[in-house]
Structure 1
Amino acid sequence: MPGNFLLNPVDDKYHYNPDKDIPDLSSKVIVVTGGNNGVGKATVIELAKHNPQRLYLVARSQAKYDQAMVDVRAAAPTANVAFLELDLASFASVKKAADRILASNDRLDILINNAGVMGLPPGQTKEGYEIHFGTNHMGHALFTKLLLPLLLKTAEGGADVRILNLSSEGNMVAPKQSFLPDQLSSPMSDTHSYVRYGQSKLANILFSRELARRYPSILTTAVHPGRVATPLLDQMMATRSFTAYAQKAFDALSGILTPVQGAYTSLWAATWKRDEVQNGAYYAPWGKLMPGSKQIQDAELAKRLWDYTEQELKKHGYA
Structure 2
Amino acid sequence: MTTNPEFGQSTTGTTVAKAFSDEVRGKVIVIVGVSPQSIGESMALALAAHDPALLVFASRTKSKMEEVSSKVKSVHGKTKIELVGVDLASLASVREAAKTINSIVDRIDILINNAAVVLQRHESTQEGLEMQFGTNHIGPFLLTNLLLPKIIAAAENSATKGSIRIINLTSQGHIISPIRFSDTNFKKRPEDLPLEERPMSRPGVSFDPPPGETYVPFVAYGQSKTANVLFSVSLTKKLASKGIRSIATHPGSIWTDLSRNLDEKHQDLISKTAGFWKDLDQGAATTLVAALDPKLGADLDITYLNDCQVAQAAEHARDEKAAEGLWQLSESIVGQEFKL
Please indicate the TM-score interval, normalised by the length of the shorter structure. Answer: 0.7 to 0.9
Change (3 A) 1:277 1:123: farther
What SS does the aligned partner of 2:246 have?
A: strand
Aligned length: 306
TM-score, normalised to structure 1, is: 0.87
- Map 1:194-233 to 2 at 5 A: 194-216=218-240, 217-233=243-259
User: By how many angstroms is 1:191 displaced?
Assistant: 2.0
User: By how many angstroms is 1:77 displaced?
Assistant: 2.0
Aligned with 2:287 (options 261, 266, 277): 266
2:7 match: 5
1:171 match: 174
Preserved contact between residue 229 and residue 318 of structure 2 (Cα < 8 Å): no
1:161 match: 164
What SS does the aligned partner of 1:158 have?
A: coil
Mean Cα deviation higher: 148-157 or 66-75: 66-75
2:29 match: 30
Deviations 1:219-277 (A, max 9, x none): 11000000012111333xx2333x531332455xx231011101001111111114566
Code of the aligned partner of 2:253: R
User: By how many angstroms is 1:182 displaced?
Assistant: 3.7
2:193 match: none
Distance 2:33 2:65 in 1: 10
Preserved contact between residue 211 and residue 280 of structure 1 (Cα < 8 Å): no
Q: Give me the CA root mean square deviation.
A: 2.5
Preserved contact between residue 117 and residue 132 of structure 2 (Cα < 8 Å): yes
1:122 match: 122
User: By how many angstroms is 1:80 displaced?
Assistant: 0.6
TM-score, normalised to structure 2, is: 0.82
Unaligned runs of 5+ residues in structure 2 are 189-212
2:48 match: 48
Change (3 A) 1:310 1:156: same
Mean Cα deviation higher: 294-303 or 267-276: 267-276
Change (3 A) 1:196 1:8: closer
User: By how many angstroms is 1:205 displaced?
Assistant: 0.2
Code of the aligned partner of 1:244: Q
Change (3 A) 1:289 1:256: same
Code of the aligned partner of 1:98: A
Distance 1:24 1:218 in 2: 15
Distance 1:277 1:5 in 2: 20
Code of the aligned partner of 2:7: F
Preserved contact between residue 23 and residue 271 of structure 1 (Cα < 8 Å): no
Distance 1:302 1:134 in 2: 17
